[in-house]
Structure 1
Amino acid sequence: MTKKRSFKVAFASLVTLSIFMAGFRISTYKAPGISLENYTIEDGFQLKLIASESLLKAPVSLDFDDKGRMWVVEMINYMPNLEGIGEDEPTGKISILEDLNKDGVADHAKVFLDKLVLPRGLAHVYGGLLYVDGPKLWFVEIKNDKPGKKTLVDPVYAEGGNVEHSSNGLMMNVDNWIYNANYNFRYQLRNGKWIKEPTSARGQWGITRDNFGRLYYNNNSVNLQGDYVLPNKIIRNKYFKPTIAENKRLASNRVFPIHQTSVNRGYQEGILDDKGYLVNVTASCGPLVYRGGIFPEAYNQNAFVCVPEANLIKRNVLHFDGLQTTASQAIEGKEFIASTDEGFRPVNLFTGPDGAMYIVDMHRGIIQHKAYISQYLTEQLAAKKLDTLQNAGRILKVTSKTIKPNTVPDLSKASSTQLVALLSHPNGWLRDRSQQLLIQKKDLSVVGQLTKLTRITNSFATAIHALYVLDGLNALSFESLTELINQSKNPETIAHALGLLERFATAPRVAKMKAISTQLLAQNNETIDLYLSMSLSSWLNLSETSFLPILAEIDKKHTSQGIFQEAITSGLSGKEDVYLASMNPGDQLKKNLTLAVTNRQKKEMNPIFVAEKNDVDPRTKGLKLFRSICATCHGADGKGIQDLAPPLKDSEYINGSTKRLAAMILHGVSGPIHVNGKLYQLNNEMPALINNKEISDQDIADIIRFTQNAFAKEGKGITNEDVKKMRDKKPSGNGIFTEKQLLEGDFDK
């Protein structure tokens, strides 16, 4: 059962620090008095404020360095007003927060990078910092807490879309690859060069993983999504897109706020219940599979999700049912954290070096971008004066009342032996960072210790961590991997080892690999069978006769499980015809392989192998076009400009027929016009766009979709075909509409 808890953090006194450290002066800091009394949290847990304004503004993400300090991304210019004007100004920052007096609350912040445009993510990797600035992904070396040499990793990383639909996440997975939310590429620094390769597109904002290495994410209207398989294992066939194994909805979208909610589509039926409470998530983001080790056992690998529009955080219990993962509401009708504070905007969750869960609270009134914000929500926010809640921000910390957090070690001073020991620590953050630091150290003296760890089985996946340290040290071989596969009792360790084994495929080793495959099949383990089927591509290129029968046996054993047919199709890339002709596939596999053959003939690839950057979504494009074409006269806020153009808000031309609106945009308007009962004497004609070859039917449809969302009482749709038909609705006379023609015309026929 959950129980309301009162947490009051009173910061009444001025903390004056006159300490000199590393060449900079630490400034005076006065923490504001902030109460958390209107927050509820599950029984057995406590919530503590550990950082707030004026140390930080509009935090959206964070990471911890090897010393355990927080590095926070501050997206200060996100929606600076209800019109979203000025958000492209370079005001973003990445700051280092410290707790110098060791009372558990940050008391000092220093800027590491500033003048950033809408920064969205960061990650401490390879001894430096990976971060986003505008559309670009950068890597910067860290020299005494100051930026050193910068390397441009990807110039189009976050290009396209608005900030809510731009790439973010930057999470190093156990496989030594960096994954993202809302982007179809992953990254790795190898031999001094940055590698960028396709991966499945995942989620919208935030990404996380479980101990095995499967990825989890979500989007605004889906509480939790995830993959049933490890990343990049089931997309080997460029002409086949899996639908069973990846991007699966795992849980209900039901949400249980503790107050009436102001959300973007609150006027639509079913969005709010009869009490005005949100029914399903509309802005879920920032998921975290908790791996910190200081919550009770029942909370281990639970998936927590931010729901900022309803001022709460959900807890989903993950269920690993064979090869599928599902999730359920932890406590029916109640959330892990909920608040009546409408400024509480949790947008990201992280596990810290101490095992606690850290909440990034953007703490602001407006949490919806201008491209998507409805007139309904705009009015609600203005009425509550939530648009005035700016330049705030908080970091909250969740701990158990019965289990103490870990003492935070300084990993920058840890020896290789100490780091190897931490691969067995209950805290996943320590395991993850130790893995990467061991790779960076390049200390081959610990290879023997690591090899021993690959044989153990525990709930912390220590063997998998050790395996990928050896991989990063280039200390794996065909012999060591086959020995591990033969000796390991853990199917998940074997699954990873099979994937790593494939790079050692050579003709002299075919017989040995065939024997290993036969031995593994005899274990009748679903996990092993699945990953074996996805790890034979390189071996098939050496000997079809040895390995096609292995795949056929797996198909026959698991013919009713579609995930196996997708896995086999992935592994058979380029050999679909051979298999179809010789192996008598089951119905589903035959269907998959035939589709792959057809796609190959038509040169239709899985989109992840085609897309180089994110597309601009229609409403964001509509917003940009509106501002460049329409706002000069109608105003960025749509309220009109004296003697230039009437307002769009409450205009019958916005609330009326969208086809008539398209005709107006195409052919223009002249003369006096009444809007909402008021006469406007126009000094200039509204220009026609019909002869502007740079403006397409799609562009006009996007403009209308934006105006319907932003200014109409109830938005209506329009198609490109509708716009095209309006090109023929040229008015008589000089070809520009008058008010009389607009009112009398029949545009919907």
Structure 2
Amino acid sequence: MARRRPFKLVIALLTLFSALLAGFQFIPSHSTRFSLADYQVEEGFKLSLVAAEPMLRAPVGLDFDNKGRMWVVEMVGYMPNLEGVGEEEPNGRIVILEDGNKDGVADRSKVFLDKLVLPRSVAHVYGGLLYVDGPKLWFVEIVNDKPGKKTLVDPIYAEGGNVEHTSNGLMMNVDNWIYNANYNFRYQLRNGKWIKEPTTSRGQWGITHDNFGRLYYNNNSTNLQGDYVLPNRVIRNKYFKPTFAEHQRLASNRVYPIHQTSVNRGYQPGVLDEKGMLREVTASCGPLVYRGGAFPDAYNQNAFVCVPEANLIKRNILDFSSLQTKARQATEGKEFIASTDEGFRPVNLFNGPDGAMYVVDMHRGIIQHKAYISQYLTAQLSDKKLDTLQNAGRILKITSTTAKLNAVPDFAKATTKDLIALLSHPNGWLRDRAQQLLIQKKDLTAVSPLLALAKGENELGTAIHALYVLEGINALTFERLTGIINESKQPQTIAHAVGLLERFATKERVGAMKLLVANLLAQKDETIDLYLSMALNGWVNVSETTFLPVLSSIEKKYATQRIFGEALTSGLAGKEEQYLASMNPGDLLKNNLTATIGKRQKNEMNPIYVVQKNEADNRTKGLKLYRSICGTCHGADGKGIQDLAPPLKGSEYIDGSMKRLAAIILHGVSGPIHVDGKLYQLNNEMPALINNKDISDADIADIIRFTQNAFAKQGKGISEADVKKMRAMKPAGNGVFTEKQLLETDFDK
């Protein structure tokens, strides 16, 4: 045995040498403080540390490559201080992390891309990497772990708003489309060209899908939202905006932290309970439908949600028993994971290729953007010195103590047969990746076995995966789809297939389609009926007399169900008047169609077909205007600058009348002025904005709203009309207010 040790040492050294040549940086086992004593983990599960600082900083998202390695996006520029100054610095990165010695902890790190501005998500798709840099969405080829040819996919992807309200997510769904959180477009690379088309704008930070392909998301104050129907099925009528089939709150917002936490509006009544604990989510994000197949069966397709402000992760049990998905708290009064470490900031969750759930812990003190952070939270973070917790970050892994993780296959050596077999694997990540790799291979020998899978079992979504591989390699025909529909006993497979069938609508196929539809209606299945109602528009355009009665028969059966009313309105796009004239619909559908006709006449489209980019909200606009106009003198932190301007924090002009504040901004101030009992001898006049044509009444109102949030003891509101009135309050003399005039004038009369 002793003689073998030098040989093992040589192998180890060769492994180290080859890794160094590949550009990896070896980092010894981290000494980051991580104590399980700080965490309460649901019984039957284990939490472990996979990677931490200094290996990574400020992680916000990740994806796995075909080798099972993590590609982590670091948003280092987010809120570098309590003033949020410096966010535009190009200090973001995408790093590759690898577990070289296979002990479950990453020990190799390589920078793939750096000098990025607020990057927020990545996705391994089409053999390359999709990522965000500033407002732009890029696709880059990967050549030996280095960036190759870059393609600009969307120049305005994340334009507008602040980083908490700009596009992110980048998730490939089972339908071969890439969806986002917080953006009304989806993407696909087709025949070498990037396609961008409208979709519903969903959520705020993070997006996920179930085995069927429905989407789930949330916003800061909503634990979990979701669509009752598959994406882009109920929005086909451009003059109709559904309000029921999509964007539904699925679960309670109640939250159960295990310690008092600092939250932005903690001073408001009802935000905290009598023990000072957070009652409901205020910063929920990063939802994940678990599809890893390595947890006990009861956890499959549960929806997990990050709650970073309360240092916990929720578990919601999804109920698919009806057309309207529901969710409930898994364990009443207790969370899946809860921590007493106030630096624990889970912001995203991911299924892993091994079946584990991966937690992206940004691990920092400040998780509230400057545009929204209150004086209350600023003081709490400062007192606890949480504002000094910067440039840290963790990747954690959640595993079951009773189920084994699966081995990650060698995709580089996987044959077409191997990939087809993976479409039936319990791990949804492996199924998803196998689907996309089969599409990239374009191996037509796969058609026959894929057709067989598409007609068979669908417990894990296998038939749906097979169906969309066929779609992705352009192997679907009318005959093949009708064969799948006729032989399948799976309503969910049929739901997808009837949607794909619409592209083949021609007059020559009307007879065959009529027979197929009759057979489907005879099954008396509400899922099939629902998706038929959304998938016959192309066929109606070919033959109204054949297919309008079909839609009418569905409508009569479900006349009072809102989800069917919206589905039919979507499916009847452009044929509303004909349907009203000939089919005598019930009140629900009649009202939808009448409203839609009115909107078409006024050319009032569903906003997703009009809006091209996210617009900044009022408070973010106010922040930007404050920094460019006011901050140079009053300071980014509102504390004032000596010999230039007095502080705004503690100022009676901020805490007093809003109309007076508007008048000051419009007309300016000259001479000495007292603020919070202190005399300030100003050498210069505060410049007036009344003659600046680029600054509107709305802009001034936004500046005031920002100052109220950032600097006032108790925020007050103001309207554009109030600002407009103050334009006429021109002071006597040179038109600039003195302190005496400010104190003697009744601005609120």
2:6 matched to which residue of 1? Answer: none
2:31 matched to which residue of 1? Answer: 32
1:458 matched to which residue of 2? Answer: 458
| Residue 27 (structure 1) shift | 3.4
User: In structure 1, how many angstroms separate the alpha carbons of the residues matched to 2:221 and 2:654?
Assistant: 27
**TM-score, length of structure 2 as denominator length:** 0.97
1:696 matched to which residue of 2? Answer: 696
- In structure 1, give the amino acid aligned to 2:672: P
1:9 matched to which residue of 2? Answer: none
Deviations 1:416-473 (Å, cap 9, x if unpaired)? Answer: 1000000000000000000000000011111111111011123201000000000011
Q: Give yes or no for the alignment of 1:21 onto 2:19.
A: yes
User: In structure 2, how many angstroms separate the alpha carbons of the residues matched to 1:542 and 1:318?
Assistant: 39
- In structure 2, give the amino acid aligned to 1:180: N
- In structure 2, give the amino acid aligned to 1:181: A
2:657 matched to which residue of 1? Answer: 657
- In structure 2, give the amino acid aligned to 1:453: L
User: In structure 2, how many angstroms separate the alpha carbons of the residues matched to 1:281 and 1:745?
Assistant: 44
Partner SS for 1:736: coil
What are the within-5 Å matches in structure 2 for residues 505-654 of structure 1?
505-654=505-654
Deviations 1:480-532 (Å, cap 9, x if unpaired)? Answer: 11111111110000000000000011110011111111211111111000000
Moved more, 725-734 or 244-253: 725-734
Indicate how the Cα distance of structure 1 residues 559 and 623 shifts in structure 2: closer, same or farther if over 3 A, else same: same
Q: Is the 8 A contact 1:19 1:26 kept in 2?
A: no
Deviations 1:229-248 (Å, cap 9, x if unpaired)? Answer: 00000001000000010000
User: In structure 2, how many angstroms separate the alpha carbons of the residues matched to 1:521 and 1:365?
Assistant: 57
Indicate how the Cα distance of structure 1 residues 26 and 180 shifts in structure 2: closer, same or farther if over 3 A, else same: closer
What are the within-5 Å matches in structure 2 for residues 319-338 of structure 1?
319-338=319-338
| Residue 28 (structure 1) shift | 4.2
What are the within-5 Å matches in structure 2 for residues 98-497 of structure 1?
98-497=98-497
Partner SS for 1:599: helix
| Residue 714 (structure 1) shift | 1.3
1:11 matched to which residue of 2? Answer: none
Q: Is the 8 A contact 2:32 2:53 kept in 1?
A: no
**TM-score, length of structure 1 as denominator length:** 0.97
Q: Is the 8 A contact 1:236 1:571 kept in 2?
A: yes
User: In structure 2, how many angstroms separate the alpha carbons of the residues matched to 1:413 and 1:384?
Assistant: 52
1:10 matched to which residue of 2? Answer: none
How big is the alpha-carbon RMSD for the aligned residues of Structure 1 and Structure 2? 1.1
- In structure 1, give the amino acid aligned to 2:151: T
Q: Is the 8 A contact 1:19 1:25 kept in 2?
A: no
User: In structure 1, how many angstroms separate the alpha carbons of the residues matched to 2:699 and 2:348?
Assistant: 34
Deviations 1:331-350 (Å, cap 9, x if unpaired)? Answer: 11110000010100000000
Indicate how the Cα distance of structure 1 residues 21 and 33 shifts in structure 2: closer, same or farther if over 3 A, else same: closer
User: In structure 2, how many angstroms separate the alpha carbons of the residues matched to 1:43 and 1:330?
Assistant: 13
User: In structure 2, how many angstroms separate the alpha carbons of the residues matched to 1:25 and 1:125?
Assistant: 23
User: In structure 2, how many angstroms separate the alpha carbons of the residues matched to 1:706 and 1:84?
Assistant: 14
Q: Is the 8 A contact 2:221 2:283 kept in 1?
A: yes
Moved more, 336-345 or 405-414: 405-414
Partner SS for 1:467: helix
1:12 matched to which residue of 2? Answer: none
Partner SS for 1:111: strand
Deviations 1:12-69 (Å, cap 9, x if unpaired)? Answer: xxx9984323833543423114222211110000000000001100000000000100
Deviations 1:547-586 (Å, cap 9, x if unpaired)? Answer: 0001111110001101101111101111111111111011
User: In structure 2, how many angstroms separate the alpha carbons of the residues matched to 1:322 and 1:56?
Assistant: 43
User: In structure 1, how many angstroms separate the alpha carbons of the residues matched to 2:321 and 2:745?
Assistant: 61
Q: Is the 8 A contact 1:68 1:410 kept in 2?
A: no
| Residue 77 (structure 1) shift | 1.0
Which segments of 5 or more consecutive residues in structure 1 lack a partner in the other structure?
1-14
Which segments of 5 or more consecutive residues in structure 2 lack a partner in the other structure?
1-11
User: In structure 2, how many angstroms separate the alpha carbons of the residues matched to 1:108 and 1:559?
Assistant: 60
Partner SS for 1:665: helix
Partner SS for 2:592: helix
Partner SS for 1:643: coil
Q: Is the 8 A contact 1:18 1:26 kept in 2?
A: no
User: In structure 1, how many angstroms separate the alpha carbons of the residues matched to 2:740 and 2:61?
Assistant: 54
Q: Is the 8 A contact 1:22 1:144 kept in 2?
A: no
Indicate how the Cα distance of structure 1 residues 25 and 549 shifts in structure 2: closer, same or farther if over 3 A, else same: closer
- In structure 2, give the amino acid aligned to 1:502: E
Q: Is the 8 A contact 2:455 2:485 kept in 1?
A: no
2:7 matched to which residue of 1? Answer: none
Q: Percent identity?
A: 76
Q: Is the 8 A contact 2:458 2:464 kept in 1?
A: no
User: In structure 1, how many angstroms separate the alpha carbons of the residues matched to 2:20 and 2:209?
Assistant: 36
User: In structure 2, how many angstroms separate the alpha carbons of the residues matched to 1:322 and 1:33?
Assistant: 47
User: In structure 1, how many angstroms separate the alpha carbons of the residues matched to 2:436 and 2:173?
Assistant: 10
User: In structure 1, how many angstroms separate the alpha carbons of the residues matched to 2:696 and 2:656?
Assistant: 22
User: In structure 2, how many angstroms separate the alpha carbons of the residues matched to 1:658 and 1:44?
Assistant: 56
